[in-house]
Amino acid sequence: MIELPEANTLARQINQHLAGKTVRSVVAGQSPHKFAWFNIDHASYPVFLVGNTLLSARNVGMFVEITLSDSFLLFHDGVNLRFHPEAGPIPARHQLLLNFSDGTSLSASVAMYGGLYCWRKSSTFEYTYYDTALSKPSPLTDAFDETYFREMLALESVQKLPLKAALATEQRIPGLGNGSLQDILWNAGFHPRRKTSTLTDDETGKLFSSVKGTLEVMTAQGGKSTEKDLFGQPGGYQVQMSAGSKGKPCPQCGSEILKEAYLGGSIYTCPTCQPI
């Protein structure tokens, strides 16, 4: 899934390699997919996009937002974005394909589920998750400081939640999803089931440092190794706690890494480094 480190990496790569290109043709919804979400009918994508120049991209939490001359594109969750230079193969299955006037293309393919939205600059696009991500400070910015983090966790509605729910749901921290959460909590030495209200003052400080520090490193290194970038290459951040870690020794202490289902997703923990 695209989370903050991956969305940031994709946006940076789009700015570097696609800015200035003009859209020559567009194919939307070519491969039927039950969980590919579109906000307009397929035939409107070329109407909105052909002739546009791609100006820039940025991440808004876990979203990749692309600004073109007259329209916006927005991708999230399980959308694989790939750039295809002239000789590069375009995947057989895709839900959106932008062909540029220089012969290169950008494809968007949905894995399990994902959104591919488009709207004109003269109109607006309302989507709660996007609006929430836009309204909150990114953990990569100075506005997301320890005071802000402590205030967020101190809310009564958050205090009663386990750390997994407090940190990685409701877009409380834009772009922080279950994938990034695993290493954040392992680095800090907390179990995802640990109740937020049980954290001491010092522990809250430690958690803040890990949220910020881990996301910064993941982003600086081009995303997590479990995800792929615009060129299909895995991210440079070597994930410690993920599906591939189950049953392996904890890199810190050697204990066997456990996997369990919890709150709608798998968690990977070290029983020694992350006591409940």
Quote the least distance from Cβ 194 to Zn ion, whole Å.
15
Quote the least distance from Cβ 119 to Zn ion, whole Å.
47
User: How far is residue 164 from each of residues 40, 136, 167, 231, 247, measured CA to CA in Å?
Assistant: 34, 19, 6, 31, 21
Find the binding residues for Zn ion in span 243-272 (CB under 5 A): 250, 252-253, 255, 270, 272
Binding-residue total with Zn ion (CB under 5 A) = 7
Quote the least distance from Cβ 247 to Zn ion, whole Å.
14
Tell me whether residue 116 or residue 241 sits nearer to Zn ion (CB atom): 241
Find the binding residues for Zn ion in span 190-209 (CB under 5 A): none
Tell me whether residue 24 or residue 246 sits nearer to Zn ion (CB atom): 246
Quote the least distance from Cβ 183 to Zn ion, whole Å.
13
CA separation for the pair 51, 221 (Å, rounded): 34
Give, for 122, the enclosing helix (H) or strand (E). Answer: none
Contact status, residue 95 vs residue 30, Cβ threshold 8 Å:
yes
Choose the binding region for Zn ion from 22-30, 95-103, 149-157, 242-250 (rule: CB under 5 A): 242-250
CA separation for the pair 219, 223 (Å, rounded): 5
Give, for 205, the enclosing helix (H) or strand (E). Answer: helix 201-220
Tell me whether residue 101 or residue 238 sits nearer to Zn ion (CB atom): 238
Tell me whether residue 143 or residue 253 sits nearer to Zn ion (CB atom): 253
User: How far is residue 94 from each of residues 34, 97, 170, measured CA to CA in Å?
Assistant: 13, 7, 29
Tell me whether residue 107 or residue 240 sits nearer to Zn ion (CB atom): 240
Tell me whether residue 52 or residue 187 sits nearer to Zn ion (CB atom): 187
Half-sphere exposure of 80 (CA within 13 A, CB side): 17
Quote the least distance from Cβ 126 to Zn ion, whole Å.
44
Decide if residue 273 touches Zn ion (CB under 5 A): yes
Residue 236 falls in which region: left (phi positive, over 0), alpha (psi -120 to 50) or beta = alpha
Quote the least distance from Cβ 145 to Zn ion, whole Å.
29
Question: SS3 for 210?
Answer: helix
Binding-site ranges for Zn ion (CB under 5 A): 250, 252-253, 255, 270, 272-273
